[in-house]
Amino acid sequence: MTGAQLFFKCENLQKTGSFKIRGASNAILSLTEQEAAQGIVTQSSGNHGAAVACAAAWRRVPAWVVMPKNAPAVKAKIIEGYGGKIVFCEPTVTARKATCVRIQAETGAHLVHPYDDDRVIAGQATAAKELLEEEGDFDAVFAPVSGGGLLSGTCLGAKGIRTDVRVFGCEPGRADDAYRSLTSGTLQSLESSDTIADGLRASLAPRTFEILRRHVERILLVSEEEIISAARLVWERMKIIIEPSSAVAIAPLLKPGGVASLNLPKRADGGAPKLGVIFSGGNVDLSSLLWK
The answer to the question of residue 272 being in a domain is yes
Q: Are residues 215 and 127 in the same domain?
A: yes
The pLDDT, as a whole number, for residue 268 is 87
pLDDT of residue 292: 67
Q: Is residue 73 in some structural domain?
A: yes
Q: Which of 80, 111, 142 is the last residue of a domain?
A: 111
Q: Are 187 and 252 part of one and the same domain? A: yes
Amino acid residing at 118: D
For 48, the domain range is 20-111
Digit-by-digit pLDDT tens for the chain (292 residues) are 999 999 999 999 999 999 999 999 999 999 999 999 999 999 998 899 999 999 999 999 999 999 999 888 889 999 999 999 999 999 888 899 999 999 999 999 999 999 999 999 999 999 999 999 999 899 999 999 999 999 999 999 999 999 999 999 999 999 999 999 999 999 998 877 889 998 898 899 999 999 999 999 999 999 999 999 999 999 999 999 999 999 999 999 999 999 999 999 889 888 999 999 999 999 998 888 777 6
How is 173-197 classified by DSSP, letter by letter? GGG-HHHHHHHHSS----S----S-
CA atoms of 120 and 107, how far apart (whole Å): 22
CATH number at residue 207: 3.40.50.1100
Tell me: do 27 and 154 sit in the same domain: no
Last-in-domain residue among 66, 93, 111:
111
Question: CB neighbours of 277 closer than 8 A, spacing ≥ 6?
Answer: 6, 7, 8, 9, 141, 142, 143, 249, 250, 253
Does residue 119 contact residue 26 with C-beta atoms inside 8 Å?
yes
CA-to-CA dists, residue 225 to 57, 153, 237, 250, 289, angstroms: 38, 28, 18, 13, 14
The pLDDT value recorded for residue 70 is: 87
pTM, full prediction: 0.94
CA dihedral 71, 54, 52, 146 (to 10 degrees): -50
Please indicate, yes or no, whether residues 169 and 42 belong to a single structural domain of this protein.
Answer: no
Looking at 111, 129, 162, the residue that finishes a domain is 111
Nearest to 119 by CA among 37, 36, 200: 36
Residue 290 lies in a domain: no
